[in-house]
Structure 1
Amino acid sequence: MTDSRPAASHTTLGTAFVLLWCTGYIAGKLMVAHAAPMTALVWRFGVAGLVFAALALAARAPWGNARSVLHSAVTGVLMLALQFGGVYLALSWDASAGVAALVIGTMPMVVAVLAVAGGDERLAPVQWAGLLLGVAGVALVVADRIDGTTEWAAWLALLAGLAGISFGTVYQKRHASQGDLRAGLAVQNLAATAVLLPGALWLEGFRFAHASGFYLPMLWTVVVNSLGGFALLFVLIRRGAATRVAALFFLMPPVTALFGSWTLGEHLTALKLGGFALAAVGVWLVTRPTSHAAR
């Protein structure tokens, strides 16, 4: 009889990851109301990087050779600096949250194409169907939040963010998922900080408010999202195929919509609930062990 414990473990980790990750959108929205976008990210990634570095040093964790450190740095620039920098800039340029969620929500499909094209994975037809259902679910969730006023610069920023998280996920699976968790995440966060710091200083004047409205959500993004969420993502990528892990991002807009209805008073409609159901079915089709065909 097949042991179901690995699948159950992946489901538990995946559920925890989605819940932790989605709180970051709420905290990020609160944080950028009191800080310039790149400045907010420098605070988030800089503090998280120092905490991970302290944990690695305290445990005398191995940092790896120069090549492994470089791979972790490239992953950090792609998954952290490029992804979140693109999203936060787009939001600061008046892109709606719906447009941002729709663009980033297509990430699992992009990762699947990259993984298959690169020879890393093979997907069954039912998994491709699951990816399409996931995209449809995301579209339904954010449909009533999309407008036609988004500027081209915001679209380019969002596409840059999509490229960052997509290429970063595949890159980390190939090159940066075997080292120590604490050391790897320290390098990733500090590399992202180094890339974003010049923009935060020279373009934004490192502008943020000395107020609890900034510090509290910033600490949440550090402790819950960076320390918790990215640690779980690191483990999931290490254990599973890139497409299987990426499919979890289909659930981000629906779960974020639920959190938004509870914390920000956003309206939860039947259309959103239908999109949630479609996205959940899509994730199940992509990630169920019997249909997984990674190699």
Structure 2
Amino acid sequence: MTAQRRHQAWLAAMPFLFVALWSTGFIGAKFGLPYAEPFTFLFIRFVLTLALLVPLVQLMGGDWPKGAPLWGHIAVSGLLVHGAYLGGVFYGIYQGMPAGLASLLVGLQPLLTALLAGPLLNERLVAKQWLGLALGLAGIVLVLGGKLDPGAHLFQGFGVGALGSVLVALLGISCGTLYQKRFCTGMPLLSGTVVQYLGAGLVLGLGALLFEERDVEWTTTFVLTLGWLVLVLSISAILLLMALIKRGEASRVASLFYLVPPVTALQAWWLFDEQLPLASLAGMAIAITGVVLVVRGKPPAKT
């Protein structure tokens, strides 16, 4: 293979690599949470990430956000996109929710974002998107129905608290996406991510201080998991996203995000023997179809 063909193959693989890396975040939560509480775990992750990202911004000569108002807006978006999202996901998995199911629920973000964009951004939904919303809801009903357990937990292995926290994560990432679109249009990606992590880290640190014991078992598994989440998810994936945006591939990555739930479910089955009944698998397929319809059915932007 010539150098040019290798380069072309690498460029073609970049969006799929980004999605594959992104899906491991749920697996990392599953690996690390036996050794640290969720808010403590995330606070340590953000501190280590910031220790690497701040010098990286300086090394790459990146611009910082201009003006205190933009810093404030970016910090709020970080609280929603990273704090509420990751905090909700990690707490839900900590409470027993399967990683694959958590991934599917927050993977409905395009559906909720499209629904909220109407009253908040005055964006109208087309018929295909309404169909996608209906399919997404039906798929989730099937998935959760397949996990029902009328016992103490209501669902197999987890209760209403875990479901509620992941729904908070879904609401956080959806509202954060809209907030960022509305107020953070001038945000530099790398340095803006630093500000987002600062905002989220402060709130999660406060949560760890108020609600957790903050005990950490520094086992080999925990250290390796933490290293993966910091170096691969919070640093490498962000740099890869920057490269994709520079090449104009951001929309392709967005359209591939609906692959994250099945990839996560497959990884969770292989690594943790997480099982989904046939009804839940069918519900996952229906829900993902709904997400695809919402994303593909987005009306063109007004000029």
The partner residue of 2:119 within 111, 117, 120 is 117
Q: Where do 5+ consecutive residues of structure 1 fail to align?
A: 1-10
User: Kindly tell me: are residues 184 and 287 of structure 1, through their superposed partners in 2, closer, same or farther at Cα, counting changes over 3 Å?
Assistant: same
Q: Give the aligned partner of residue 192 of structure 2.
A: 184
Partner of 1:129: 131
Matches for 1:196-211 after TM superposition, within 5 Å: 196-211=204-219
2:263 is matched by which residue type in structure 1?
V
Letter in 1 for 2:265: A
2:294 equivalent to 1:286: yes
Root-mean-square deviation (CA), in Å? 3.5
Paired letter, 1:63: W
Residues 235 and 115 from structure 1, CA distance in 2 versus in 1: closer, same or farther, beyond 3 angstroms? farther
Q: How big is each residue's C-alpha offset from its partner over 1:199-253, in whole Å with a ceiling of 9 and x where there is no partner?
A: 32343232111111111111111122222445566788997999x94x7655433
In the other structure, the counterpart of 1:48 is 49
Q: Which amino acid aligns with 1:112?
A: A
**SS of equivalent to 1:60:** coil
Alpha carbons of 1:265 and 1:177: their partners in 2 closer, same or farther (altered >3 Å)?
A: farther
**Distance verdict in 2 for CA 1:272–1:27, change over 3 Å:** same
Aligned partner letter, 2:128:
V
Q: Is 1:39 matched up with 2:46?
A: no
What does residue 76 of structure 2 align with? 74
1:76-115 correspondence runs (5 A): 76-95=78-97, 97=99, 100-101=102-103, 103-115=105-117
- 1:195 aligns with 203
Determine whether 1:218 maps to 2:219.
no
CA contact (8 A) 2:30 2:93 kept: no
Structure 1 distance, partners of 2:239, 2:95, is 30
State the alpha-carbon separation in 2 of the partners of residues 153 and 88 from structure 1.
12
Report the equivalent of 1:265: 273
Query: 1:84-115: per-residue Cα shift (whole Å, max 9, x none)?
Result: 22232334344555764564344322211111
Which residue of structure 2 aligns with residue 7 of structure 1?
A: none
What TM-score do you get using the length of structure 1 for normalisation? 0.79
Q: What TM-score, normalized to structure 2?
A: 0.77
Letter in 2 for 1:252: V
* Amino acid in structure 2 at the alignment position of 1:61: G
1:70–1:81 distance in 2 versus 1, CA, 3 Å: same
Alpha-carbon distance, 1:82 to partner = 1.4
CA distance change for structure 1 residues 285 and 151 in 2, over 3 Å: closer, same or farther?
closer
Distance 1:51 1:208 in 2: 22
Query: Aligned pair count?
Result: 283
Report the equivalent of 2:29.
28
Indicate how the Cα distance of structure 1 residues 21 and 48 shifts in structure 2: closer, same or farther if over 3 A, else same.
same
Asked if 2 retains the 8 angstrom alpha-carbon contact of 1:141 and 1:272, the reply is yes
Q: 2:181 maps to what in 1?
A: 173
Q: Does the C-alpha gap of structure 1 residues 154 and 286 become closer, same or farther in structure 2, counting only changes over 3 Å?
A: closer
Identity rate, percent: 37
Checking the alignment, whether the CA contact within 8 Å between 1:22 and 1:256 is kept in structure 2 is yes
Post-superposition Cα deviations, 1:170-214, rounded to whole Å, max 9, x if no partner, equal 112222244322101111112211111123234323211111111
Q: Is the 8 A contact 2:42 2:87 kept in 1?
A: yes
| Shift, 1:45, TM fit | 1.7
CA contact (8 A) 2:81 2:173 kept: yes
**Matched letter for residue 113 of structure 2:** V
Contact 2:138 2:286 survives alignment (8 Å): yes
